[in-house]
Chains A and B, each alone.
Chain A
Amino acid sequence: MDLIESYKEELRLVRKFWTGFWIILLLFALILLPWYGKEHWVYILTLIFIFSIGVQGQNLLIGYTGQISFGQAGFLALGAFTFGHLVRMGAPVLISLLCAGLVAALFGLLVGFPSLRLKGPYLAIATLGFGIAVYQVFVNSEILSGGRMGLTVQKLPALFGLSQVNTYYYFNLLLATLFTLVSYNLISSFLGRAFIAIRDNDISAEAMGVNLTIYKLLAFAISSFYTGIQGGLYALLLGYLEPNMFTFLETISLFVAVIVGGLASVEGSILGAAFVILVPQVFSNAKHLVPVVFGVAIILILIFEPLGLSGRWLKIRLYLRMWPFR
């Protein structure tokens, strides 16, 4: 049925007809959502799209390259404030967004340098330091953070006769789809292979000619580029920035999303992003329970399903494919 006849066919993004079918169906459902869904849901999905970009970046770093970073809140803040200031100076939205990513990537390179020497918990502490340092700089510098009033960012105007919520929805859907495609392309190329090799065995990766310095730094840069874009999109959505939006809790949310969604999985990143956005919605009457749910979720996932939601999804798919035979 699905006989592969050439190498080219095997390297295609969507290999089976039915996978493509479901993906297109899902995309259609998402595109048509504003017509049948409540506005509240459109907004929530917009948040999920934005978040999933950052989670993919974090997953490229933690899941694929095996380097840990607890400094994501820092990159998020850098991206958001870069975007905010550029838009205030009158730069076009897309250029500002690109710059937000690039500034975050630049700092990602800097933070990546300790990763050449440090591993595991030591790297976690070093990057954690970066995240907190960025936060402190923004808190204490009125020029950067916009002072007590915060930084107001001009919002996206309503385009093409859509309402503003829907404009945001489509804009972020487009970007999230774009970044998801790029993630898939990156990980299936020599780049992704080198990243996974570094995670699985850095000594033999190096002995096979993978330059650890370049590829570890590249992983940090790409990951923080994604996070910077997330920050920029966040700023654009909220139209208002203050340093307190980028505390350590933000790093934790990204980390939870990666673990819950599944390490080294792009689909998992999106599922994880949905989890992290939806939990506060479900517990909107008991906000103080959210960190508890996150903590319990991590423990349960690590014990029962180390591959996260994407691992569970693979098992369900296998079950359905085999049904009624077990």
Chain B
Amino acid sequence: MSLLEIKDLTISFGGIMALSRVNLSVTEKSIMGIIGPNGSGKTTLFNCLTGIYHPDRGDVLFQGKSIRDLSPDRIAACGIARTFQNLRLFMNMSTLDNLLLGRHLRFNKNPLYPLFRIRKEEIRHREWVEGIIDFLDLQAYRSARVSDCPYGVQKRVELGRALALEPKLLLLDEPISGLTAEEKEESAYLITEIRGRFNMTILLVEHDLRIASRLSDTMVALYYGEKLAEGTPAEVKRNPEVIRAYLGDD
């Protein structure tokens, strides 16, 4: 059964067609990799899915309902969480607070709780967040300010923040770019673990073709806003059009 259905998605900025008539269908509990050269519309696709951009034409169906015109926070409430390509963390908060903000939607927002310092909600969510801290190995950075943490840790905090939302669909925008070889392997392992442990469907944008094809069940190649190929990683990598897009004509 497909969790996310993208139909004829089209968006243009001025004269540039960032996405034109993209059709996609993501099955539940699968990992779909999205590849493509720079400027091919991968991040734009994510921005359309999370409500940061609103597409000109086409529709996005999540669990059968259109989320096309919803605002980002409503989409998050539907169960879609994302990470950003260039980290967008709350730099002056501690790691713990960043993760707790990911739980924002699940807090009981009784106005009397903050006013009279009733902390049972905080404690309940703290316990849940500690699970993520263990899972992502962030214990040492729990109360450190995020801006003081190394890049690899920041990347993990952002992943953790998205996980804290307990989404049904997780959008990862280049989760392993800029990491060392060792961290890459670790993150790749985490991504497969996430699917198993949290039952999430994952959409993955990645430039590292070797790791992307190892992680994904299906793969989609975008090129100048158009879908070039779709299939298993092996099929997509062998597709002559994809090879031409990446390497140019001979």
Residue A204 contacts which of B84, B107, B119 (CB distance < 8 angstroms)? B84
Residue A201 contacts which of B88, B97, B109, B117 (CB distance < 8 angstroms)? B88
Q: How many residues of A contact B (CB 8 A)?
A: 31
Residue A207 contacts which of B76, B100, B107 (CB distance < 8 angstroms)? B76
Which chain B residues in 71-128 approach chain A with CB under 8 Å? 71-73, 76-77, 81-82, 84, 88-93, 97, 100-102, 104-105, 107, 109, 113-117, 119, 121-123, 126-127
B115 touches A193 (CB 8 A): no
A193 touches B88 (CB 8 A): no
Known: A11-B119, A210-B101. A204 touches B73 (CB 8 A): no
Known: A189-B113, A204-B84, A204-B90. A197 touches B119 (CB 8 A): no
Q: Mark A226-246, 1 if CB is under 8 A from B, else 0.
A: 000000000000000000000
B152 to chain A, nearest CB (A): 19
Known: A11-B122, A207-B52. A196 touches B104 (CB 8 A): no
A140 contacts B by Cβ under 8 Å: no
Q: Indicate the size class of the contact surface on chain B.
A: 35 or more
A7 touches B123 (CB 8 A): yes
Q: Which residue on chain B has the smallest CB distance to residue A11?
A: B119
A93 contacts B by Cβ under 8 Å: no
B113 touches A210 (CB 8 A): no
B169 to chain A, nearest CB (A): 13
Q: Mark B197-220, 1 if CB is under 8 A from A, else 0.
A: 000000000000000000000000
A178 to chain B, nearest CB (A): 11
Bound together, the chains give a CA A233 to CA B91 distance in angstroms of 37
A203 touches B52 (CB 8 A): yes
Bound together, the chains give a CA A203 to CA B82 distance in angstroms of 12
A208 contacts B by Cβ under 8 Å: yes
Q: Which residue on chain A has the smallest CB distance to residue B78?
A: A209
B91 touches A200 (CB 8 A): yes
Q: Which residue on chain A has the smallest CB distance to residue B71?
A: A206
A7 touches B126 (CB 8 A): yes
B161 touches A208 (CB 8 A): yes
B65 to chain A, nearest CB (A): 17
User: Which residues of B are found within 8 Å of A286, using beta-carbon distances?
Assistant: none
Bound together, the chains give a CA A208 to CA B116 distance in angstroms of 26
User: Which residues of A are found within 8 Å of B121, using beta-carbon distances?
Assistant: 190
Known: A196-B93, A201-B89. A13 touches B165 (CB 8 A): no
Q: Mark A173-184, 1 if CB is under 8 A from B, else 0.
A: 000000000101
A210 touches B73 (CB 8 A): yes
B93 touches A200 (CB 8 A): yes
User: Which residues of B are found within 8 Å of A191, using beta-carbon distances?
Assistant: 114
A132 contacts B by Cβ under 8 Å: no
A197 touches B90 (CB 8 A): yes
Bound together, the chains give a CA A200 to CA B97 distance in angstroms of 12
Binding site for B on A (CB under 8 A): 7-8, 11, 13, 182, 184-186, 188-194, 196-197, 199-201, 203-212, 264
Q: A189-B113, A205-B101, A207-B76 are in contact. List 10 more A-B contacts (CB 8 A).
A: A11-B119, A182-B115, A190-B104, A190-B109, A192-B114, A193-B93, A193-B101, A196-B90, A201-B90, A208-B73
